Amino acid sequence: MDNLEKVIYADESYKLNGIFFKAHNELGPYCREIQYCDALEKLFVENNIPYNREVCLEPESDLIKKSSNRVDFVVYDKIIIEVKAVRFVGREEYNQVQRYLKTFNIKLGLLVNFQQRYLKPKRIINSTAKE
């Protein structure tokens, strides 16, 4: 098995990365998160990528009445995309994507910080997800 076969959703990830770079090249690193999400949504439609935007997480317990957590995008019904426009992405953002992956039982999350000068999407894997 070569390295490409080990990459989870390699074809979809490759296509999504191209879309991220296109949006970043068009908007630059100084827009707000909502503007990047709008640009991605437009590019998803243009490229026939199935997606859902701002998907609410269900409350994990009865103590939580309404969840304010929303996943930016779920694409292909199997990849979560979390968009950020912050100076640095840290442990908190990583944990946020991990929580989303576990809640939705999805294997792959892509954390994309558009405020970076050089775009570097981060792949986050949920090893407990079942396909």
Domains and CATH numbers, the chain: 3-125 (3.40.1350)
Q: Which residue has the higher pLDDT, 18 or 69?
A: 18
Residue 1's pLDDT band, with cuts at 50, 70 and 90, is: very low
**Mean of the per-residue pLDDT values for the chain?**
89
List, for residues 49-60, the tens digit of each pLDDT value. 999 999 887 655
CA-based Rg of the chain, rounded to a whole angstrom?
A: 15
List, for residues 67-99, the tens digit of each pLDDT value. 567 899 999 999 999 999 999 999 999 999 999
Q: Is the pLDDT of residue 65 over 60?
A: no
Residue 54 burial class via C-beta count within 10 angstroms: exposed 0-12, middle 13-18, buried 19 and up: exposed
